[in-house]
Structure 1
Amino acid sequence: MEGDDVVMAAEESTEADIDGLKIRLKEMEDEAAALREMQAKVEKEMGSIQDPAAAATSQANREEVDSRSIFVGNVDYSCTPEEVQQHFQSCGTVNRVTIRSDKYGQPKGYAYVEFLEAEAVQEALLLNESELHGRQLKVTAKRTNIPGMKPYRPRRSNPFMQPRDPFMAPYYFAPYGYGKVPRLRMATRYSPYY
Protein backbone atom coordinates (compact mmCIF):
# COMPACT_ATOMS: atom_id res chain seq x y z
CA MET A 1 0.00 0.00 0.00
CA GLU A 2 2.74 2.39 0.84
CA GLY A 3 4.40 1.74 -2.52
CA ASP A 4 1.19 2.68 -4.32
CA ASP A 5 0.98 5.95 -2.37
CA VAL A 6 4.55 6.81 -3.30
CA VAL A 7 3.94 6.09 -6.99
CA MET A 8 0.75 8.16 -7.02
CA ALA A 9 2.46 11.06 -5.24
CA ALA A 10 5.33 10.92 -7.78
CA GLU A 11 2.85 10.91 -10.68
CA GLU A 12 0.98 13.90 -9.20
CA SER A 13 4.18 15.88 -8.69
CA THR A 14 5.28 15.05 -12.25
CA GLU A 15 1.93 16.23 -13.63
CA ALA A 16 2.18 19.43 -11.57
CA ASP A 17 5.71 20.03 -12.92
CA ILE A 18 4.48 19.47 -16.48
CA ASP A 19 1.57 21.87 -15.95
CA GLY A 20 3.98 24.48 -14.54
CA LEU A 21 6.29 24.06 -17.54
CA LYS A 22 3.34 24.42 -19.95
CA ILE A 23 2.33 27.67 -18.24
CA ARG A 24 5.92 29.01 -18.44
CA LEU A 25 6.14 27.95 -22.11
CA LYS A 26 2.91 29.82 -22.88
CA GLU A 27 4.24 32.97 -21.12
CA MET A 28 7.51 32.76 -23.07
CA GLU A 29 5.65 32.36 -26.39
CA ASP A 30 3.49 35.41 -25.58
CA GLU A 31 6.59 37.42 -24.71
CA ALA A 32 8.34 36.32 -27.92
CA ALA A 33 5.30 37.37 -29.96
CA ALA A 34 5.30 40.78 -28.27
CA LEU A 35 9.03 41.17 -28.98
CA ARG A 36 8.52 40.25 -32.66
CA GLU A 37 5.75 42.84 -32.85
CA MET A 38 7.98 45.53 -31.31
CA GLN A 39 10.86 44.57 -33.63
CA ALA A 40 8.60 44.87 -36.68
CA LYS A 41 7.43 48.28 -35.48
CA VAL A 42 11.03 49.51 -35.01
CA GLU A 43 12.09 48.13 -38.40
CA LYS A 44 9.14 49.88 -40.00
CA GLU A 45 10.14 53.19 -38.40
CA MET A 46 13.80 52.70 -39.34
CA GLY A 47 12.82 51.81 -42.89
CA SER A 48 10.78 54.98 -43.18
CA ILE A 49 13.76 57.03 -41.97
CA GLN A 50 16.03 55.44 -44.55
CA ASP A 51 13.52 56.26 -47.24
CA PRO A 52 14.87 59.30 -49.19
CA ALA A 53 11.50 61.06 -49.21
CA ALA A 54 11.14 60.58 -45.47
CA ALA A 55 14.73 61.74 -44.93
CA ALA A 56 13.98 64.92 -46.89
CA THR A 57 10.90 65.64 -44.80
CA SER A 58 12.87 64.86 -41.66
CA GLN A 59 15.58 67.34 -42.73
CA ALA A 60 12.93 69.96 -43.55
CA ASN A 61 11.29 69.41 -40.17
CA ARG A 62 14.67 69.75 -38.43
CA GLU A 63 15.37 73.01 -40.30
CA GLU A 64 11.95 74.35 -39.31
CA VAL A 65 12.56 73.52 -35.64
CA ASP A 66 16.04 75.07 -35.81
CA SER A 67 14.57 78.28 -37.24
CA ARG A 68 12.54 78.58 -34.02
CA SER A 69 15.50 77.84 -31.72
CA ILE A 70 18.41 79.75 -30.21
CA PHE A 71 21.81 78.80 -28.83
CA VAL A 72 22.63 80.17 -25.37
CA GLY A 73 26.30 80.10 -24.38
CA ASN A 74 28.06 80.80 -21.06
CA VAL A 75 25.22 79.29 -19.03
CA ASP A 76 26.06 78.82 -15.36
CA TYR A 77 26.64 75.17 -14.41
CA SER A 78 24.14 75.36 -11.54
CA CYS A 79 21.39 76.76 -13.80
CA THR A 80 18.27 74.63 -14.29
CA PRO A 81 16.12 74.45 -17.44
CA GLU A 82 13.29 76.14 -15.54
CA GLU A 83 15.48 79.17 -14.78
CA VAL A 84 16.55 79.45 -18.43
CA GLN A 85 12.89 79.19 -19.44
CA GLN A 86 11.96 81.98 -17.01
CA HIS A 87 14.75 84.16 -18.43
CA PHE A 88 13.47 83.81 -22.02
CA GLN A 89 9.74 83.75 -21.17
CA SER A 90 9.37 87.44 -22.07
CA CYS A 91 10.37 86.72 -25.70
CA GLY A 92 7.59 84.24 -26.40
CA THR A 93 6.26 80.82 -25.49
CA VAL A 94 9.13 78.45 -24.74
CA ASN A 95 8.51 74.98 -26.12
CA ARG A 96 11.64 73.23 -24.81
CA VAL A 97 14.92 73.99 -23.03
CA THR A 98 17.87 71.62 -23.47
CA ILE A 99 20.99 72.04 -21.33
CA ARG A 100 23.72 69.83 -22.75
CA SER A 101 25.79 67.72 -20.36
CA ASP A 102 28.84 65.49 -20.67
CA LYS A 103 28.96 61.73 -20.13
CA TYR A 104 29.27 62.21 -16.37
CA GLY A 105 26.10 64.31 -16.18
CA GLN A 106 27.90 67.62 -15.62
CA PRO A 107 26.51 70.58 -17.63
CA LYS A 108 28.70 71.77 -20.52
CA GLY A 109 27.78 75.42 -20.07
CA TYR A 110 25.44 75.96 -23.00
CA ALA A 111 21.78 75.39 -23.79
CA TYR A 112 19.28 75.38 -26.63
CA VAL A 113 15.90 77.07 -26.30
CA GLU A 114 13.10 76.17 -28.72
CA PHE A 115 10.19 78.60 -29.07
CA LEU A 116 6.68 77.94 -30.30
CA GLU A 117 6.78 80.75 -32.86
CA ALA A 118 9.68 81.89 -35.09
CA GLU A 119 9.24 85.61 -34.22
CA ALA A 120 10.38 84.93 -30.66
CA VAL A 121 13.92 84.22 -31.91
CA GLN A 122 14.40 87.88 -32.90
CA GLU A 123 13.19 88.98 -29.47
CA ALA A 124 15.55 86.50 -27.78
CA LEU A 125 18.53 87.79 -29.75
CA LEU A 126 18.00 91.14 -28.02
CA LEU A 127 18.80 89.40 -24.71
CA ASN A 128 22.40 88.83 -25.86
CA GLU A 129 24.86 89.78 -23.08
CA SER A 130 22.08 89.75 -20.48
CA GLU A 131 22.94 88.27 -17.08
CA LEU A 132 21.72 85.02 -15.57
CA HIS A 133 23.26 83.80 -12.30
CA GLY A 134 25.89 86.53 -12.61
CA ARG A 135 27.14 85.40 -16.03
CA GLN A 136 26.71 87.19 -19.36
CA LEU A 137 24.80 85.00 -21.77
CA LYS A 138 25.80 84.73 -25.42
CA VAL A 139 22.62 84.33 -27.47
CA THR A 140 22.73 83.43 -31.18
CA ALA A 141 20.34 81.82 -33.62
CA LYS A 142 20.72 78.04 -33.76
CA ARG A 143 22.37 76.76 -36.91
CA THR A 144 21.26 73.62 -38.72
CA ASN A 145 23.84 70.90 -39.02
CA ILE A 146 24.15 69.39 -42.48
CA PRO A 147 24.80 65.65 -42.19
CA GLY A 148 28.21 64.63 -43.46
CA MET A 149 29.57 68.17 -43.59
CA LYS A 150 32.29 68.69 -41.02
CA PRO A 151 34.39 71.83 -40.91
CA TYR A 152 37.77 71.41 -42.57
CA ARG A 153 40.62 71.46 -40.07
CA PRO A 154 44.06 71.23 -41.64
CA ARG A 155 46.58 69.16 -39.75
CA ARG A 156 49.41 70.88 -38.00
CA SER A 157 52.66 70.25 -39.72
CA ASN A 158 55.45 68.52 -37.85
CA PRO A 159 58.85 70.15 -38.54
CA PHE A 160 60.52 66.74 -38.41
CA MET A 161 58.28 65.30 -41.08
CA GLN A 162 59.33 67.95 -43.62
CA PRO A 163 62.64 67.52 -45.46
CA ARG A 164 65.06 70.27 -44.53
CA ASP A 165 67.17 69.57 -47.56
CA PRO A 166 65.59 68.77 -50.96
CA PHE A 167 67.88 65.75 -51.29
CA MET A 168 67.19 64.42 -47.80
CA ALA A 169 64.25 62.09 -47.26
CA PRO A 170 61.81 63.05 -44.50
CA TYR A 171 61.66 61.02 -41.30
CA TYR A 172 58.89 58.45 -41.42
CA PHE A 173 58.73 57.85 -37.69
CA ALA A 174 57.68 60.01 -34.80
CA PRO A 175 60.47 61.87 -33.01
CA TYR A 176 61.04 61.44 -29.27
CA GLY A 177 59.93 64.97 -28.42
CA TYR A 178 59.71 68.42 -29.86
CA GLY A 179 63.09 69.69 -31.07
CA LYS A 180 64.91 66.42 -30.51
CA VAL A 181 66.76 64.58 -33.19
CA PRO A 182 65.72 60.95 -33.53
CA ARG A 183 68.19 58.56 -31.96
CA LEU A 184 69.67 55.85 -34.12
CA ARG A 185 70.64 52.78 -32.18
CA MET A 186 73.03 50.05 -33.13
CA ALA A 187 71.75 46.53 -32.98
CA THR A 188 73.21 45.11 -29.78
CA ARG A 189 74.49 41.60 -29.44
CA TYR A 190 74.65 39.70 -26.23
CA SER A 191 78.11 39.72 -24.74
CA PRO A 192 78.64 38.13 -21.33
CA TYR A 193 82.04 39.85 -20.82
CA TYR A 194 80.85 43.45 -20.46
Structure 2
Amino acid sequence: MEEEEHEVYGGEIPDVGEMDGDMDMTAADDDAAKELDEMKRRLKEIEDEAAALREMQAKVEKDMGPQDPATIASDQAGKEEVDARSVFVGNVDYACTPEEVQQHFQSCGTVHRVTILTDKFGQPKGFAYVEFVEAEAIQDALQLNESELHGRQLKVLPKRTNVPGLKQHRGRRFNPYMGFRRPFMSPYMYSPYGYGKVPRFRRPMRYMPYQ
Protein backbone atom coordinates (compact mmCIF):
# COMPACT_ATOMS: atom_id res chain seq x y z
CA MET A 1 0.00 0.00 0.00
CA GLU A 2 1.21 3.44 -0.82
CA GLU A 3 1.53 5.94 2.02
CA GLU A 4 -0.62 9.01 1.60
CA GLU A 5 0.76 12.42 2.49
CA HIS A 6 -1.54 14.78 4.38
CA GLU A 7 -1.00 18.54 4.33
CA VAL A 8 -1.27 20.47 7.58
CA TYR A 9 -3.05 23.80 7.34
CA GLY A 10 -2.75 26.69 9.80
CA GLY A 11 0.91 27.63 9.59
CA GLU A 12 3.84 26.54 11.67
CA ILE A 13 3.46 25.59 15.32
CA PRO A 14 5.28 28.17 17.50
CA ASP A 15 8.20 27.06 19.53
CA VAL A 16 7.82 26.67 23.31
CA GLY A 17 10.52 29.30 23.99
CA GLU A 18 8.76 31.87 21.86
CA MET A 19 5.51 31.26 23.75
CA ASP A 20 7.26 31.80 27.09
CA GLY A 21 8.77 35.05 25.82
CA ASP A 22 5.39 36.35 24.77
CA MET A 23 3.95 35.48 28.17
CA ASP A 24 6.81 37.31 29.94
CA MET A 25 6.28 40.41 27.82
CA THR A 26 2.58 40.38 28.62
CA ALA A 27 3.26 40.07 32.36
CA ALA A 28 5.80 42.93 32.20
CA ASP A 29 3.27 45.12 30.40
CA ASP A 30 0.69 44.34 33.08
CA ASP A 31 3.14 45.25 35.87
CA ALA A 32 4.06 48.52 34.14
CA ALA A 33 0.39 49.38 33.74
CA LYS A 34 -0.25 48.67 37.43
CA GLU A 35 2.71 50.85 38.48
CA LEU A 36 1.47 53.65 36.24
CA ASP A 37 -1.99 53.44 37.75
CA GLU A 38 -0.49 53.48 41.26
CA MET A 39 1.58 56.58 40.44
CA LYS A 40 -1.48 58.33 39.04
CA ARG A 41 -3.42 57.48 42.19
CA ARG A 42 -0.68 58.85 44.46
CA LEU A 43 -0.37 62.01 42.37
CA LYS A 44 -4.13 62.50 42.65
CA GLU A 45 -3.94 62.13 46.44
CA ILE A 46 -1.10 64.68 46.66
CA GLU A 47 -3.05 67.16 44.55
CA ASP A 48 -6.14 66.68 46.73
CA GLU A 49 -4.10 67.27 49.91
CA ALA A 50 -2.51 70.41 48.44
CA ALA A 51 -5.93 71.74 47.46
CA ALA A 52 -7.26 71.04 50.97
CA LEU A 53 -4.29 72.87 52.53
CA ARG A 54 -4.81 75.89 50.27
CA GLU A 55 -8.46 75.95 51.20
CA MET A 56 -7.66 75.80 54.92
CA GLN A 57 -5.07 78.57 54.59
CA ALA A 58 -7.51 80.78 52.71
CA LYS A 59 -10.13 80.17 55.40
CA VAL A 60 -7.71 81.07 58.20
CA GLU A 61 -6.62 84.25 56.42
CA LYS A 62 -10.26 85.17 55.87
CA ASP A 63 -11.10 84.64 59.54
CA MET A 64 -8.09 86.63 60.73
CA GLY A 65 -8.63 89.40 58.22
CA PRO A 66 -6.01 91.89 57.07
CA GLN A 67 -3.83 93.33 59.80
CA ASP A 68 -4.65 96.97 60.23
CA PRO A 69 -1.67 99.22 61.13
CA ALA A 70 -3.90 100.94 63.69
CA THR A 71 -4.60 97.58 65.33
CA ILE A 72 -0.91 96.74 65.43
CA ALA A 73 -0.12 100.13 66.97
CA SER A 74 -2.89 99.63 69.53
CA ASP A 75 -1.50 96.21 70.50
CA GLN A 76 1.99 97.66 70.84
CA ALA A 77 0.67 100.47 73.04
CA GLY A 78 -1.10 97.90 75.21
CA LYS A 79 2.14 95.94 75.63
CA GLU A 80 4.00 99.09 76.60
CA GLU A 81 1.32 99.93 79.17
CA VAL A 82 1.56 96.43 80.69
CA ASP A 83 5.38 96.56 80.72
CA ALA A 84 5.20 99.92 82.51
CA ARG A 85 3.48 98.08 85.38
CA SER A 86 5.89 95.11 85.40
CA VAL A 87 9.35 94.36 86.74
CA PHE A 88 12.00 91.83 85.80
CA VAL A 89 13.13 89.53 88.61
CA GLY A 90 16.39 87.68 88.06
CA ASN A 91 18.34 85.05 90.01
CA VAL A 92 15.12 83.30 91.04
CA ASP A 93 15.54 79.89 92.63
CA TYR A 94 14.49 77.03 90.36
CA ALA A 95 12.30 75.57 93.11
CA CYS A 96 10.49 78.87 93.69
CA THR A 97 6.77 78.96 92.83
CA PRO A 98 4.73 81.90 91.45
CA GLU A 99 2.81 82.07 94.74
CA GLU A 100 6.04 82.60 96.68
CA VAL A 101 7.13 85.35 94.30
CA GLN A 102 3.73 86.99 94.68
CA GLN A 103 3.99 86.92 98.47
CA HIS A 104 7.47 88.44 98.25
CA PHE A 105 6.20 91.44 96.23
CA GLN A 106 2.70 91.84 97.67
CA SER A 107 3.90 94.54 100.08
CA CYS A 108 4.68 96.77 97.07
CA GLY A 109 1.15 96.69 95.65
CA THR A 110 -1.51 94.46 94.16
CA VAL A 111 0.16 91.75 92.08
CA HIS A 112 -1.85 91.00 88.94
CA ARG A 113 0.29 88.24 87.42
CA VAL A 114 3.55 86.37 88.06
CA THR A 115 5.21 84.67 85.09
CA ILE A 116 8.16 82.32 85.60
CA LEU A 117 9.72 81.57 82.24
CA THR A 118 10.68 77.99 81.37
CA ASP A 119 12.63 76.34 78.57
CA LYS A 120 11.29 73.88 76.01
CA PHE A 121 11.66 71.05 78.54
CA GLY A 122 9.56 72.86 81.15
CA GLN A 123 12.50 73.69 83.41
CA PRO A 124 12.60 77.20 84.97
CA LYS A 125 15.14 79.59 83.46
CA GLY A 126 15.81 81.38 86.75
CA PHE A 127 13.95 84.66 86.16
CA ALA A 128 10.37 85.90 86.26
CA TYR A 129 8.12 88.87 85.47
CA VAL A 130 5.84 90.44 88.06
CA GLU A 131 2.94 92.56 86.80
CA PHE A 132 1.20 94.96 89.19
CA VAL A 133 -2.20 96.58 88.96
CA GLU A 134 -0.85 100.02 89.84
CA ALA A 135 2.08 101.59 88.01
CA GLU A 136 3.14 103.29 91.26
CA ALA A 137 4.07 99.89 92.71
CA ILE A 138 7.10 99.70 90.41
CA GLN A 139 9.16 102.10 92.52
CA ASP A 140 8.46 100.10 95.66
CA ALA A 141 9.28 96.85 93.86
CA LEU A 142 12.64 98.23 92.74
CA GLN A 143 13.50 98.75 96.41
CA LEU A 144 13.48 94.97 96.80
CA ASN A 145 16.53 94.67 94.60
CA GLU A 146 19.14 92.36 96.21
CA SER A 147 16.52 91.09 98.66
CA GLU A 148 16.68 87.38 99.48
CA LEU A 149 14.20 84.69 98.48
CA HIS A 150 15.05 81.03 99.11
CA GLY A 151 18.50 82.19 100.19
CA ARG A 152 19.27 83.91 96.86
CA GLN A 153 19.60 87.63 96.18
CA LEU A 154 17.04 88.78 93.64
CA LYS A 155 17.84 91.19 90.85
CA VAL A 156 14.85 93.50 90.29
CA LEU A 157 14.81 95.77 87.23
CA PRO A 158 12.11 97.54 85.20
CA LYS A 159 10.79 95.39 82.38
CA ARG A 160 11.83 96.45 78.88
CA THR A 161 9.38 96.52 75.99
CA ASN A 162 10.40 94.36 73.05
CA VAL A 163 9.91 96.15 69.75
CA PRO A 164 8.82 93.77 66.93
CA GLY A 165 11.49 93.37 64.26
CA LEU A 166 14.19 95.00 66.39
CA LYS A 167 16.84 92.87 68.05
CA GLN A 168 18.71 94.24 71.00
CA HIS A 169 22.42 93.50 70.76
CA ARG A 170 24.67 93.78 73.76
CA GLY A 171 28.19 94.99 73.28
CA ARG A 172 31.02 92.73 74.26
CA ARG A 173 32.52 93.67 77.59
CA PHE A 174 36.22 94.28 78.01
CA ASN A 175 37.95 91.41 79.75
CA PRO A 176 40.95 92.66 81.75
CA TYR A 177 42.35 89.13 81.97
CA MET A 178 42.65 88.81 78.22
CA GLY A 179 44.87 91.85 77.81
CA PHE A 180 45.76 93.22 74.43
CA ARG A 181 46.39 90.72 71.71
CA ARG A 182 49.22 91.11 69.28
CA PRO A 183 47.93 91.63 65.74
CA PHE A 184 48.21 88.68 63.42
CA MET A 185 51.36 88.59 61.34
CA SER A 186 52.17 86.27 58.53
CA PRO A 187 54.99 83.78 59.22
CA TYR A 188 56.95 85.47 56.48
CA MET A 189 56.90 88.75 58.44
CA TYR A 190 58.53 87.34 61.58
CA SER A 191 62.18 88.08 62.06
CA PRO A 192 64.36 84.96 62.23
CA TYR A 193 66.46 86.71 64.89
CA GLY A 194 63.57 87.14 67.37
CA TYR A 195 60.80 89.65 68.02
CA GLY A 196 62.06 93.25 67.96
CA LYS A 197 65.65 92.32 67.17
CA VAL A 198 67.74 93.25 64.19
CA PRO A 199 70.57 91.17 62.80
CA ARG A 200 74.11 92.14 63.71
CA PHE A 201 76.48 91.91 60.81
CA ARG A 202 80.09 91.07 61.47
CA ARG A 203 82.85 92.77 59.58
CA PRO A 204 84.43 90.28 57.22
CA MET A 205 87.98 89.34 58.02
CA ARG A 206 90.65 90.93 55.87
CA TYR A 207 92.53 88.65 53.60
CA MET A 208 96.12 88.34 54.77
CA PRO A 209 98.43 86.57 52.39
CA TYR A 210 101.15 84.34 53.67
CA GLN A 211 104.26 86.19 54.72
* TM-score normalised by structure 1 residue count: 0.56
Q: Render the CA deviation track for 1:142-168: whole Å, top value 9, x for unaligned.
A: 00011111134689xxxxxx9856xxx
Q: How many residues are paired up? A: 124
In structure 1, what is the equivalent of residue 148 of structure 2? 131
The amino acid that maps onto 2:97 is: T
The whole-number CA distance in structure 2 between the counterparts of 1:125 and 1:63 is 18
In structure 2, what is the equivalent of residue 22 of structure 1? none
Q: For 1:150, what is the secondary structure of its paired residue?
A: coil
- Does residue 92 (structure 1) correspond to residue 95 (structure 2)? The answer is no
Q: Render the CA deviation track for 1:86-143: whole Å, top value 9, x for unaligned.
A: 0000000000000000111110000000000100111100000000000000000000
The whole-number CA distance in structure 2 between the counterparts of 1:152 and 1:130 is 29
The whole-number CA distance in structure 1 between the counterparts of 2:63 and 2:136 is 33
Q: For 1:87, what is the secondary structure of its paired residue?
A: helix
The whole-number CA distance in structure 1 between the counterparts of 2:153 and 2:69 is 43
- Does residue 47 (structure 1) correspond to residue 65 (structure 2)? The answer is yes
The whole-number CA distance in structure 1 between the counterparts of 2:151 and 2:133 is 27
Structure-2 change in CA distance of 1:129 and 1:45 (3 Å): farther
The whole-number CA distance in structure 2 between the counterparts of 1:121 and 1:163 is 50
- Does residue 71 (structure 1) correspond to residue 88 (structure 2)? The answer is yes
TM superposition outliers: structure 1 runs of 4+ over 6 Å: none
Q: For 1:57, what is the secondary structure of its paired residue?
A: helix
The amino acid that maps onto 1:138 is: K
Q: Computing the radius of gyration over CA atoms, which structure comes out larger, 1 or 2?
A: 2
Unaligned runs of 5+ in 2: 1-55, 173-182, 187-211
Q: For 2:83, what is the secondary structure of its paired residue?
A: helix
The whole-number CA distance in structure 1 between the counterparts of 2:152 and 2:122 is 21
The whole-number CA distance in structure 2 between the counterparts of 1:71 and 1:154 is 21
Q: For 2:65, what is the secondary structure of its paired residue?
A: helix
The whole-number CA distance in structure 2 between the counterparts of 1:126 and 1:104 is 33
Q: Summarize the alignment of residues 40-189 of structure 1 with structure 2, pairs less than 5 Å apart.
A: 43=61, 46-47=64-65, 50-152=67-169, 164=185
